[in-house]
Amino acid sequence: MKFRVSAKTADGASEKRVIDAVSRFAVYEQLEKEGLTVVTVEEGGGASLPAWTRIQLGSGIKTDERITFTKNLAAMLSAGLPLPRALSVIDRQTRNKSLRKVVTDLEENVKKGTSFHEALALHRNIFSDLFIAMTKAGEESGKLADSLQVVARQMDRSHTLEKKVKGAMIYPSIILSAVVIIGILMLMFVVPTLSSTFKELNVALPAATRAIISISDFLANNVILSLLLVAMFFGLVLLFLKSKFGGKVLLLVSLKLPVIGELVRETMGARVARSLSSLLSSGVEMLSALQIACEVVGDNPFGKVVKEAEERVRKGESLSAAFIDHPKLFPPFVADMIAVGEETGKVSDMLGQVATYYETDVEDRTKDLSTIIEPILMLVIGGAVGVFAMAMITPIYSLSSKI
């Protein structure tokens, strides 16, 4: 796998190259050995495609299955089973064909003498850089089972938080979908009846009424084409949101929204803190932990803060310094807790407490999110119904006033 890399030498000179490596983590390792500081790492060695075309594709393995795999492997290693045998047991128990293929490959590579983290790196579309780094730290320290238990907890908490946020959005999504479907059905079956009445009576129609009737005529006369256009529209929206550029735009818009913006900040804060805490507690050094956490968070404002923190720590500054300078993304609470951790030598523990605090707060907020969004939905739906009703009733009212 090839990566386009931008790095800096010790004297500050920029250097760009294409590196063939099994994962981003391997790229960082190689450049650090050469004494270079990584600036950016992008997958692919050929011509760069537009950002909106880079779609995140699935691997056929659910997050729940990865968590179960990690927990089971950690439990068997803790019980004293050798790694190849533990992988063999998981292979026989796994029902997902995609995961079974991966586990079989891991077992074969480990039996050949490949280290476990290097075997995992061959499947980086399934195992994240954080997972690989923590596994490597566990192998080097002789505490692989402990490291796997930590990464399993980290994955479990992140996944639980993600599910709660998505679950809170199910109700608003169902309501909006129902409104859109009802609106389309009214345009196709109700409006044509009123439209024919207006034409027979030769009533002067307002601009809003004419616009609604035009949309209705198009839908009624081009049913198949309309359905294709609607499906194409939603398909393009989904593709856009799954792309890196679309995800970045969605995040920036979400940060500007009341209630939602605060929820996003706390969720991202929990992700950063939990990732760093897990890595540091597993024995990964600070600079490497920050580099990996930057990859986990992604190319967005939060990731840029983590990247800035890595650069400032490399220069000898404290970790809390970078977070203090970005209070709009990371509240002072984060920087203060990190500062306390630096003073006491317990940065990992303090970051863990920050993550737990935000995860708990997000869970509490998501419970009430539907209640908060409900009146906003009612206002939006009421406004749409009001516009529709006025557009249809105004011609009838003007007609009755002439009689």
Cα distance between residue 134 and residue 117, in whole Å? 9
Q: What does the pLDDT average to over 378-382?
A: 85
The model's pTM: 0.66
- Chain CA centroid to CA 345, Å: 31
- The band of 72, judged by pLDDT with boundaries at 50, 70 and 90, is very high
Give the pLDDT of residue 43: 63
* Continuous H helices in 203-285: 207-221, 223-242, 244-256, 260-281
Residue 285 has pLDDT above 60, yes or no: yes
For residue 247, which of 310, 300, 174, 318 has the smallest C-alpha distance?
A: 300
Residue 52 has pLDDT above 50, yes or no: no
- According to DSSP, the residues that pair with 112 across neighbouring strands are none
Residue 21 has pLDDT above 80, yes or no: no
Domain 63-155 listed as CATH 1.10.8.80: no
Residue 225 has pLDDT above 80, yes or no: yes
pLDDT 10s digits, 103-160: 999 999 999 888 898 888 888 888 887 788 888 888 887 888 888 888 888 888 888 8
Tokens describing residue 177: 């979908």
- The band of 376, judged by pLDDT with boundaries at 50, 70 and 90, is confident
pLDDT 10s digits, 344-367: 988 889 998 998 898 888 888 777
Bigger pLDDT: 20 vs 262: 262
Bigger pLDDT: 286 vs 164: 286
- The band of 25, judged by pLDDT with boundaries at 50, 70 and 90, is low
| Alpha-carbon dihedral sign for residues 134, 137, 139, 141 | negative
Tokens describing residue 240: 């856009």
Cα distance between residue 366 and residue 363, in whole Å? 5
- Considering only the top CATH level, what class is 2-46? alpha beta
pLDDT 10s digits, 264-283: 888 888 888 888 888 888 78
For residue 24, which of 46, 41, 7, 38 has the smallest C-alpha distance?
A: 41
Give the pLDDT of residue 85: 92
